[in-house]
Structure 1
Amino acid sequence: MDVLSEIEDWPVDNAVSVVVDGQGAIAGQHGDTDRPYALASVTKLLSTYAFLIALEEGAIGLEDPAGPEGSTVHHLLAHTAGYDFDSEVIRFEVGAKRGYSNCGFEKLAEHLERETEISCADYAQEAVFAPLRMNSTKIAGSCAKDGWSTAADLARFAAELLTPTLVSPQTMADATRVHFEGLAGILPGYGRQNPNDWGLGFEIRSTKNPHWTGASHPAKTFGHFGQSGTFLWVDPVDRLACVTLTDRNFGPWAAETWAGYNERVLKAYSA
């Protein structure tokens, strides 16, 4: 029995899981890959890619002032600008800790729109979704949490993350290394992590424990999970990616299930 079929035993009404290999091909799938799901914070991966393209194009700069005084695009992308999780309240000094924030990403979207006169949603549509043929994907509101997509579309996106074509390999390598090293912070749903490593928009597994990926996942594994019960991880060492979407919000069921599932997926498909 394929490990992906385990999602049938999860306490959810609908779920789908897809594994993508290093050649960008579907290595395995289970569930309806054309059903749209709310992505919650997995939306940040889509927005991040739009921001990276904007950086390469010179539309915005990493050291552009953005957010609270002393903060830059760099701080906002790496969740070190000081914002509260979901408000403009400042919780700490710029660069002092890792404070995961929806508000920070929304400030990035505002900066992009000021500089380009194009909304983040439209920029992502033109720069990311259209060229990757992600025809069932949209950002309908906040660039931090209001994305919708299908597993089929996100499999194409995962293939792009494994072998970038819309940004240079150098840009992707820089975005998926740790920025502002050694900062502690809260990983939502998993508690305080020290360090709570992050790249430019991408969460990096590093040494985090507990975590939603498997214990055998390389430290360089990157991706994101969402409050809507969704996740996407990319393992650049074993050249694998996994997209999993459900219609039940993240909670104890997910924290207890995902790590073991992802461990088994990695072992099954990297063999």
Structure 2
Amino acid sequence: MDVLSEIENWPVDNAVSVVIDGRGSIAGQHGDLDKVYALASVTKLLSSYAFLIALEEGAINLEDPAGPEGSTVHHLLAHTAGYDFDSDVIRFAVGAKRGYSNYGFEKLAEHLQQETEINFADYAQEAVFAPLGMNSTKIAGSCAKDGRSSAADLAKFAAELLNPTLVSPETLSDATRVHFEGLVGILPGYGRQNPNDWGLGFELRSSKNPHWTGASHPAQTFGHFGQSGTFLWVDPVDRLACVTLTDRNFGPWAADAWAGYNERVLKAYAA
């Protein structure tokens, strides 16, 4: 029995899981790939890619002032601008800690809109979704949490993350390394991490413990999970990615299930 069928035992009404190999092909799947799910913070992966394209185009720059005084696009992308999770309250000095913030991402979208005079949802559609053929994907609201997509679409996106075409490999490699090293912070759902490593919008597995990916996942593994019960990870060492979507919010059930599941997926599909 394929490991992906384990999602049938999860306490959810609907779930789908798909594995993408290094060629960008679907290596395994279970569930309805065309059903559209709310992504919650997995939205940040899509938005981050749009921001990377904007950086390559020169529409925005990492050192552009954005957010609180002293903060830049760089700080906002890496969750070090000091903002509260979901408001404009300043919790710490710029660059002092890793403070995961939806609000900070929303300020990034505002900055991009100001610089390009293009609504962020339209920018993401034109820069990311249309070129990749992600016809079931949209961001309707916050660029941090209001995306909706299908596993079929996100499999295309995961293939792009394994073999980038919309940005240079060098740009993606830089975005998925640690930025502002050594910062302590809270990984939502998993507690204090020291360090709480992050890239440019991409959460990095690094040395985090506990974590939602498997114990055998390389430190270079990157991705994101969402409060709506969703995750996407990319393992650039084993050249493998996994998209899993559910319709039950993240909670103890997910914290208990995901790490072991992802460990078994990696072992089953890694070459």
Aligned mates of 1:210, 1:55 — CA distance in 2:
33
> 1:39-96: CA deviations, max 9, x gaps?
0000000000000000000000000000000000000000000000000000000000
Q: Which residue of 1 aligns with 2:70?
A: 70
C-alpha RMSD over aligned residues: 0.3
> 1:125-153: CA deviations, max 9, x gaps?
00000000000000000000000000000
SS class of match (1:149):
strand
Aligned mates of 2:107, 2:79 — CA distance in 1:
11
Aligned mates of 1:176, 1:162 — CA distance in 2:
12
Q: Which residue of 1 aligns with 2:87?
A: 87
> 1:10-50: CA deviations, max 9, x gaps?
00000000000000000000000000000000000000000
Write out aligned runs for 1:125-136 (5 A): 125-136=125-136
TM-score, normalised via structure 1 length: 1.00
Q: Which residue of 1 aligns with 2:139?
A: 139
Q: Which residue of 2 aligns with 1:12?
A: 12
Q: Which residue of 1 aligns with 2:259?
A: 259
Greater shift in the superposed pair: 5-14 or 115-124 = 115-124
Pairwise CA distance, 1:264: 0.1
Aligned mates of 2:120, 2:177 — CA distance in 1:
24
Aligned mates of 1:113, 1:45 — CA distance in 2:
18
Structure 2 letter corresponding to 1:176: T
Structure 2 residue 199 is the aligned partner of structure 1 residue 199: yes
Pairwise CA distance, 1:123: 0.5
Q: Which residue of 1 aligns with 2:112?
A: 112
Structure 1: gaps spanning 5 or more residues: none
TM-score, normalised via structure 2 length: 1.00
Pairwise CA distance, 1:120: 1.3
> 1:144-182: CA deviations, max 9, x gaps?
000000000000000000010000011000000000000
Structure 2 residue 249 is the aligned partner of structure 1 residue 246: no
Aligned mates of 2:54, 2:199 — CA distance in 1:
17
Structure 2 residue 240 is the aligned partner of structure 1 residue 234: no
Structure 2: gaps spanning 5 or more residues: none
Q: Which residue of 2 aligns with 1:150?
A: 150
**Matched residues, percent identical?**
89
Structure 1 letter corresponding to 2:12: V
SS class of match (2:131):
coil
Structure 1 letter corresponding to 2:248: R
Aligned mates of 1:166, 1:90 — CA distance in 2:
34
Aligned mates of 1:100, 1:118 — CA distance in 2:
26
